[in-house]
Amino acid sequence: MKKYLLLSLIVAMFGCQPKYISTTSGDKNSELDVRNLEYTYLSTKGKLIFNSKGKETKLAVDTRIEKDKQMWMSMRVAKIEGLRVLATKDSVFALLKMEKEAYALSYDDVELLLGTRIDYDLLQSIFTGDLPSTFEDSRVKMGEDDFLLTRKDKGLESIASVNRTSQKLEKIAVLLKKEKKVATIDYDTFKPVVNTADQSAPFHSLVKVGVGNQDKVKAETTVELNFSKIEVEPEAQKMPFKIPSKYKKKGREDLVVKQ
């Protein structure tokens, strides 16, 4: 499978006012109250560094998000668009412009390609730093500096770390125990979001896919995102996505052939 499609599938993973319920010593919260972003439409601009098997690719990436519904991405090298992606709740569509190929995939297909589980909520979280809704029914344990949220489902274990002071998501780990695979997302460099009052988001995130556990990953693939802007938009943004007639249409069977 071509590296740009693999890259897109990895990256292709609120209250208005912050509030504290109660505190213990200092400014550390004793109860979990995650500060997700409040928005309907969001856009981002940034740079992306993709590394797989020692080969590094640097790209510019723009995203447009309609919260919990759809997400559009455009990736460029030297101002030339090489990849366009539209992700919905149940599907991922990708245009590989240089190869003139179009892919229509389910998230089960994405798992086949990546070797790890991902869904729309996790993909959206990579760009917003929001806690995915899948953690709503998770077990919560309070540590010295963070809350650990753990969810187990059919050989899959998901762990999220939320800072007790900021109530911001700082890390997600997804472990496939049988396959001994792990994917982690680390969030940092929180800065103000444009067009909001007292809201912030991580302007740097690092995705690792490989083997190990949530604390130590032997990475086979990494994706590093550095944002120059994260902005709440007042209205819906255009998400142009049309498959040209000359493009070859690809699907799950093509992923199986290329494994």
Whether this prediction's pTM lies above 0.85 is answered by: no
Q: How confident is the model over 9-62, as pLDDT tens digits?
A: 555 432 222 333 333 345 789 999 999 999 999 999 999 998 988 889 899 999
Provide the CA 177 distance to its chain's centre, in angstroms: 21
Q: How confident is the model over 95-120, as pLDDT tens digits?
A: 999 999 999 988 888 777 666 677 88
Domains (range + CATH), the chain:
3-241 (2.50.20.10)
Instruction: Calculate the CA dihedral of residues 54, 55, 56, 61 and round it to 10 degrees.
Output: -120
Higher pLDDT, 176 or 74: 74
Half-sphere exposure of 200 (CA within 13 A, CB side): 16
* pLDDT at res. 83: 92
Residue 210 makes CB contacts below 8 A (sequence gap 6+) with 181, 182, 217, 218, 219, 220, 221
Question: Environment class of residue 80 by beta-carbon count within 10 Å: exposed (0-12), middle (13-18) or buried (19+)?
Answer: exposed
Q: Classify the C-alpha dihedral 134-137-139-145 as positive or negative.
A: positive
Q: How far apart are CA 14 and CA 39, in angstroms?
A: 8
Angle, CA of 184, 209 and 223, to the nearest 5°: 85
Residue 257 has pLDDT above 70, yes or no: no
Residue 80 has pLDDT above 80, yes or no: yes
Q: Can you read off the two tokens belonging to residue 132?
A: 């995915």
Q: How far apart are CA 251 and CA 99, in angstroms?
A: 15
The answer to whether 50 and 59 have CB atoms below 8 angstroms apart is: yes
Mean pLDDT of the chain: 85
